Every structure is written in C-alpha cells, then in structure tokens.
C-alpha cells in the first residue's frame, strides 16, 4: 500500500482539566514511538494497544516498525454492539493480568467504538491512567477521538455510562483512511456535515460543492474536511468542556439519531448514518420553527443525502420519540433540542414538544420511503 507523508497540522484543545494537541498528518503511525516519547518526557512506560483484529491486520506492520520493544496488544471484536460494560471489564482484567500499572499508557487504535471504550477503560482502570487516541476512521478523526467523552451503551440508550477523560494527545494519521470501507467513510462524513451546519458555513459549502473529491478519498480533500471539523469541535469543547451549554450543539441530529440506534439494536445502522437521519429530522423541526428557510433546509437535506445512501430501517415514529426520553440533554424533565439557525449557527430550544418531534420523525420516515436506494 503506498503510504503518504505530509506536513502536519496541529490543533490545540484546552479545557479546565486538560490541554493537548490534535495532530493531523499522513504517516504519523510510522513514527509513533518517537511521538509517544515526546508526550511522556522521554520515558516510555509500558504501552498497551487496544484495537480490533481487522485493524491490526491492516496496520500492525506500520505501528510495530516504529517501536524498539513491541507493546502488548489487546483485541476487541468490531461493532457498536460490543460497546458495552462487558468489553470494558474483559479489557481491564487483561490489563491487570498483563501487569499494567498506574504509569501504563493505553493507545486506542481504531474508530469511535475502540476510542470510546479505551478512553473509558483509561478513566477507570486503577482510578485513571493515561491514553492516546490513534483514530483510524474518518468519524473518529473528525469527532470521537477529541473532546474527552468516553463511555459505553446500555440497552436502555446510547452512551449512558461514561466519563469525561481526555487523551494525552490525538494523532490522526490520514493514511489510515485509505483502507476504510466506503460506507464507513460516508458515515463519518455525516459528523463533518453536522459540524458545518452548526458552526462553520464554509465547511458546509465545501462539502456541498466537493462531494466527488471527498467521497473518492482524495487525500487533500479529506485532510481539509478533517482539519476544519477538528477546529470546530476543539473550539466548542474548549469553551464548554462538560456540556453545560454550548457543547450541546455537537449533539445536533443526535436526539433522534441515538433513538434510531437504540430502536434498531445498535446493529442496523452505523452511528454516522443514524446521525444523518437524525439531522434530517432536526432540520424539519428547524424548518417548522422558522429557524431555517425552505431553501436552507433543502440544501442541508440534499447535502446529507449526497453523502449517502443512508440505509433504511424499520421503526415507528412514536417509538423513536419515546426513546428520546433517555437523552442526556434532558434535565429535570426539560429536553434541550438543537435547532439549525440558518447554515453555520444553532439555537437551543427547551420547548420542543413530542408532537413536533413526531411530525419531524414521520417526515424523515416518509423521505426514507421515497428514496430509491
């Protein structure tokens, strides 16, 4: 496989509890040990890599070539349904049996599932150890690897167990995107469209106008999307680490998106695909509230569908609305709902009713039925 190297971009993220860099470049994994040494003041502790057999099969040679002494590798099977407490317990047991101590360093090599689980494991193993994110999916590079949200799902809902625990650094090697299945690339791009809708009209326009280059995996186009998306998330998280206000906007499309994932047993859709449908529903709510015009809503929905196809699923609108009750943006019975305000801004509404959500969910389901693919 031809591997590219390039100049790197570094975005800083500083919150009251952590300060770190998100480095975006091709070829970062080739010099991993050197980079980890810098992060640990020249004294590399015991290193444990958490990954899946598939990712390791593709990337172990590159990763291991940078190490003088091979790290211990712990495996998780792929898939959202493994993002649960049983996986965390099993990994913690393996860490203990392999002699991991409070100085040990975990590396999360994979997508958002590996990243969320490894981050949570790092948050609770011996009451907290260090970890580095090595995101290998588009979604993880643009969203899940940064910001410190870690955790696992319950059958009752998405990410209902977790903690805020930031990585020492995020090293996003854009070469890894070359081996990513196209459906995973498209799903991840839904989170970047979200970032454009909520915060960065320029990113949205770039994605609206350059879908061919982006979807074909053109490295320059992907790097531009990754960098712009990381800037959006880093800026938002720097201003509101614990989601007491502004950070809620990163949840645009997730109120119904998470409900779709739960309603389909975390099996039918990828997270990004559920966010795509959820963003369409959130756009309908915004349209009926008048925070976006018909023209803006059309552009948002057309761009989301451009990065599809979004898979069909079977669920009643009523069930989806009922499932939104376990949303973490609901506090003391008040549901916060993120509306698009034009393109590039948002408004958080606390009075969106079940009836409004039901109308939007039905419109989204009708649109799904009208799609040919």
Ligand X SMILES: O=C(O)C(=O)C[C@@H](O)[C@H](O)[C@H](O)COP(=O)(O)O
Q: Is 158 labeled as ligand-binding?
A: yes
Which alpha helices (DSSP H) does the chain contain, by range? 32-39, 53-65, 85-97, 112-124, 138-139, 182-199, 201-209, 211-215, 219-239, 254-263, 271-289, 294-306, 317-323, 354-370
Environment class of 286 (CB within 10 Å of its CB; exposed 0-12, middle 13-18, buried 19+): buried
* Residue 146 near residue 79 (C-beta atoms within 8 A): no
Report how far residue 72's alpha carbon sits from residue 92's, in angstroms, rounded to the nearest whole number: 13
Q: Which of 35, 82, 165, 254 binds ligand X (CB under 6 A)?
A: 254
Q: Does 139 bind ligand NAD (CB under 6 A)?
A: yes
Nearer to ligand X, 52 or 251 (CB): 251
Minimum distance from CB of 352 to ligand X (Å)?
16
SS (H, E, C) 145-192: CCCCEEEEEECCEEEEEEEECCCCCEEEEHHHHHHCCHHHHHHHHHHH
What is the size of the binding site for ligand X (CB under 6 A)? 12
Q: What residues are labeled active site?
A: 127, 149, 191, 233, 243, 247, 251, 254, 258, 271
DSSP reduced 3-state for 52: coil
Question: Given the structure tokens 């970062």, which residue do they identify?
Answer: 28
Consecutive H or E run containing 338? strand 337-340
Nearer to ligand NAD, 282 or 292 (CB): 282
Minimum distance from CB of 150 to ligand X (Å)?
9
Q: Is 143 labeled as ligand-binding?
A: no
Nearer to ligand X, 82 or 158 (CB): 158
Q: How far is CA 309 from the centre of its chain?
A: 19
Nearer to ligand X, 250 or 287 (CB): 250
DSSP reduced 3-state for 241: coil
Q: Does 147 bind ligand X (CB under 6 A)?
A: yes
Q: Which of 158, 165, 224, 335 binds ligand X (CB under 6 A)?
A: 158
Length of the chain: 373
Q: Which of 21, 80, 200, 296 binds ligand NAD (CB under 6 A)?
A: 80
Window 192 to 251, contacts with ligand X (CB under 6 A): 243, 247, 250-251
Q: Does 184 bind ligand NAD (CB under 6 A)?
A: yes
Q: Does 363 bind ligand NAD (CB under 6 A)?
A: no
Question: What are the angstrom distances between the C-alpha of 169 and each of 20, 100, 109?
Answer: 5, 20, 13
* Residue 108 near residue 176 (C-beta atoms within 8 A): no
Q: Which of 20, 33, 106, 112 binds ligand NAD (CB under 6 A)?
A: 112
Minimum distance from CB of 165 to ligand NAD (Å)?
10
Minimum distance from CB of 101 to ligand X (Å)?
29
The partner in contact with residue 328, picked from ligand X, ligand NAD, none with C-beta cut-offs of 5 to 8 angstroms by kind, is ligand X
- What does the angle CA 207 – CA 294 – CA 230 come to, to the nearest 5 degrees? 30
Q: Is 148 labeled as ligand-binding?
A: no
Q: Does 9 bind ligand X (CB under 6 A)?
A: no
The partner in contact with residue 137, picked from ligand X, ligand NAD, none with C-beta cut-offs of 5 to 8 angstroms by kind, is ligand NAD
Residue 264's contacts (CB-CB under 8 Å, 6 or more residues apart) are: 274, 313, 314, 315
The partner in contact with residue 176, picked from ligand X, ligand NAD, none with C-beta cut-offs of 5 to 8 angstroms by kind, is ligand NAD
Choices 13-21, 40-48, 120-128, 180-188; region in contact with ligand NAD by CB under 6 A: 180-188
Q: Which of 114, 262, 281, 310 binds ligand NAD (CB under 6 A)?
A: 114
Q: Is 37 labeled as ligand-binding?
A: no
Residue 35 gets the label, from left (phi > 0), alpha (psi -120 to 50) or beta, of: alpha
Q: Does 143 bind ligand X (CB under 6 A)?
A: yes
Sites of contact with ligand NAD (CB under 6 A): 52, 54-55, 58, 78, 80, 83, 110-114, 116, 136-137, 139-140, 143-144, 147, 149, 176, 179-180, 184, 187-188, 270-272
Give the binding site for ligand X (CB under 6 A): 143, 147, 149, 158-159, 191, 243, 247, 250-251, 254, 328
């Amino acid at each position: 496989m031809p591997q590219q190297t390039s100049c790197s971009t570094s975005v800083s993220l500083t919150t009251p509890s952590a300060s770190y860099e998100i480095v975006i470049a091709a070829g970062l994994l080739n010099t991993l040990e050197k980079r980890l040494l810098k992060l640990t003041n020249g004294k590399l502790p015991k290193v444990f890599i958490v990954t899946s057999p598939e990712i390791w099969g593709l990337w172990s040679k590159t990763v291991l070539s940078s190490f003088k002494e091979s790290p211990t590798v712990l495996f998780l099977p792929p898939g959202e349904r493994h993002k649960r407490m049983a996986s965390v317990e099993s990994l913690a047991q393996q860490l203990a049996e392999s002699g991991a101590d409070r100085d040990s360093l975990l590396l999360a090599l994979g997508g958002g599932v590996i990243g969320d689980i490894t981050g949570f494991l790092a948050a609770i193993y011996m009451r907290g150890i260090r970890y580095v994110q090595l995101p290998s999916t588009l979604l993880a590079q643009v969203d899940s690897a940064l910001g410190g949200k870690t955790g696992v799902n319950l059958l009752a809902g998405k990410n209902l167990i977790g903690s805020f625990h930031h990585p020492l650094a995020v090293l996003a090697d854009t070469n890894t995107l070359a081996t990513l299945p196209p459906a995973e690339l498209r799903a991840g791009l839904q989170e970047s469209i979200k970032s454009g809708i909520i915060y960065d009209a320029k990113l949205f326009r770039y994605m609206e106008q350059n879908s061919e280059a982006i979807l074909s995996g053109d490295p320059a186009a992907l790097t531009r999307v990754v960098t712009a998306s990381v800037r959006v998330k880093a800026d938002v998280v720097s201003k509101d680490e614990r989601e007491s206000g502004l950070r809620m906007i990163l949840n645009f499309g997730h109120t119904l998106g998470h409900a779709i994932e739960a309603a389909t047993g975390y099996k039918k859709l990828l997270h990004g695909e559920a966010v795509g449908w959820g963003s369409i529903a959130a756009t309908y709510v915004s349209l009926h509230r008048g925070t976006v015009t018909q023209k803006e809503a059309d552009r948002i929905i057309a761009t989301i569908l451009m990065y599809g196809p979004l898979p069909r699923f079977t669920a009643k609108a009523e069930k989806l609305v009922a499932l939104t009750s376990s949303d973490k943006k609901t506090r003391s019975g008040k549901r916060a709902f993120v509306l698009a305000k034009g393109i590039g801004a948002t408004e958080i509404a606390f009075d969106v009713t079940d009836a409004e959500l039901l109308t939007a969910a039905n419109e989204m389901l009708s649109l799904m039925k009208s799609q040919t693919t």
